[in-house]
Amino acid sequence: MKNENVDVLIIGAGPSGSVAAGYLHKEGFKIKVVEKNKFPRFVIGESLLPRCMHHFEEVGLLEALNAKQFEIKGGARFMRDGQICNFDFSKKHTEGWDWTWQVPRADFDKTLTDSLEAKGVDIDFEKEVVAVDFEGSISTTTIKDIDGNLSTVTAKYIIDSSGFGRVLPRLLDLDAPSEIPKHSSIFTHVKETNRPEGREGTIITFDIVSLETWLWVIPFSNGYTSIGYVGPTEYLESFEGDNTQKLQEMMKLSDYYFDRFEGLEYEFEPKMIKNIAKSVKQMYGEGYVLTGNSAEFLDPVFSSGVTFATESAITAAKLIARELKNESVNWEIEYSDYIKGGVDVFSTYVKEWYTGNLQTIFFHEKENPEIKRQICAVLAGYVWDETNPFVKNHHRLVKAVAHIANMEQEATS
């Protein structure tokens, strides 16, 4: 069986694997990326956050992405029962990028891997990791091609960026229950033949149809729009028929968007992903680290997935680079604690969204501009900025501000 030796083996060529590969290649390490699919391939996760722009920029992938002219995302619109809450990323507490993109991921991820390959990164497509054996920190990974042929890669480090493939969590029994409510999602793309003119046609929107159920509308610059619902698993399952019938029925829940999408053909049979939150017992071990969805996924409501994927990837890649240069690294503090800190902040926002507290703040009539700037920075992905009270005191501040908003509402009604 053919065997290859590398410094770092990266499993998966999504945003997480691509950013890790970009960094380690730039630093001169011998790396290999193995990817189960042939690109372009569909994957969900189309609304990005400004924070991830830093990562693409740092590893030299931004120029190629820029050239694709994806739809610019300068903020986000939330709506509920005729009330509207707009966030503008240029009005946020934390310094940094104030725009990003909303992207068809097939095209976006292919742009990343094309750019990496042009730089000389070795990416093996249609190769699936099927087994991993560790001797201390040295791993031997078995890879299967589409004809069933096996080969192995020996590596000093593995970065598992396999997304919902969750290769190492499965093989090493690392899965842990998530604290996030059991939500599922159903979604597809439509080609819009009669998109509204101007901002209305391009703005990303989250339409809240009930406390735990909401619709996303994500227009792309290629004329297609992503539509999808998220809600409690049991509720989504209660809709009759196949996935097309389910989604058609659910679209009737949105007073605002029903007419816009009525009668438009779905580009593919809507996909349903059940119980989307994922977690692990540990994010690293001897000779490996988990990044992106392979490590953790909370909920789509604040579009944190790709940003978390790239933040964890670049952090892990930097630590591995240091370790391979014989510097000492404290993985617990420098990786696990750091990443969990950001996850913890997002986790509060997700949970408080579904308790209704955050919705109370978003749709409160009396807007406080300073609070809005601070929450806006969180929604832009700057969840590691401890100068932001809504990061530092996230556990109690969201609850406290919602409580005050509720009291003010009661006093005026």
Binding residues for ligand FAD (CB under 6 A): 11-17, 34-37, 43-48, 128-129, 161-165, 167, 185, 273, 276, 292-293, 297, 300, 303, 305-307, 309
Nearer to ligand FAD, 5 or 275 (CB): 275
299 and 277 in contact (C-beta within 8 Å)?
Answer: yes
Which 3 state secondary structure label does DSSP give 207? strand
Of 21 and 85, the one with the shorter C-beta distance to ligand FAD is 21
Residues 6+ apart with CB under 8 A from 230: 183, 184, 185, 213, 214, 216, 276, 299, 300, 301
Minimum gap (Å) between residue 334 Cβ and ligand FAD: 20
What sign results for the dihedral spanned by CA atoms 238, 242, 248, 249?
negative
Residue with tokens 């919602």: 402
Among 159, 191, 36, 54, which Cα is nearest to 109's? 36
Smallest gap from residue 360 Cβ to ligand FAD (A): 23
Q: Least Å distance between CB 284 and ligand FAD?
A: 15
271-273 and 183-191 strand pairing: antiparallel
42 vs 258, beta carbon nearer ligand FAD: 42
The whole-angstrom separation of Cα 156 and Cα 211 is 47
Where does 65-182 show beta strands of DSSP type E? Answer: 71-73, 75-80, 83-88, 100-102, 123-124, 127-135, 138-145, 150-160, 175-176
CA-to-CA separations, 48 to 206, 302, 379, in angstroms, rounded: 14, 9, 10
Of the two residues 185 and 359, which places its CB atom closer to ligand FAD in the complex? Answer: 185
Please state, in angstroms and rounded to a whole number, the distance separating the CA atoms of residues 103 and 108.
Answer: 6
Closer by beta carbon to ligand FAD, 51 or else 80: 51
Quote the tokens at residue 198: 């101007």
User: Rounded to the nearest whole angstrom, what is the least distance from the CB of residue 157 to ligand FAD in the complex?
Assistant: 16
* Nearer to ligand FAD (CB atom), residue 16 or residue 360: 16
| Shortest Å, Cβ 124 to ligand FAD | 9
Shortest Å distance, C-beta 222 to ligand FAD: 17
| Contact by Cβ (8 Å): 156, 137 | yes
Q: How far is the CB of 241 from ligand FAD (least distance, A)?
A: 20
User: Quick one: 144 or 322, whose CB is closer to ligand FAD?
Assistant: 144
Residue 13 beta carbon to ligand FAD: minimum distance, rounded to whole angstroms? 6
Give CA–CA dist 60/19, Å, rounded.
Answer: 9
The DSSP line for 45-80 is --B--THHHHHHHHTT-HHHHHHT-PEEE-EEEEEE
Closer to ligand FAD by Cβ: residue 43 or 361: 43
Q: Which residues contact 3 (CB under 8 A, 6 or more apart)?
A: 140, 151, 152, 153, 154
* CB 20, min distance to ligand FAD, A: 9
DSSP 334: I
Query: With respect to ligand FAD, which residue has the nearer C-beta, 128 or 145?
Result: 128
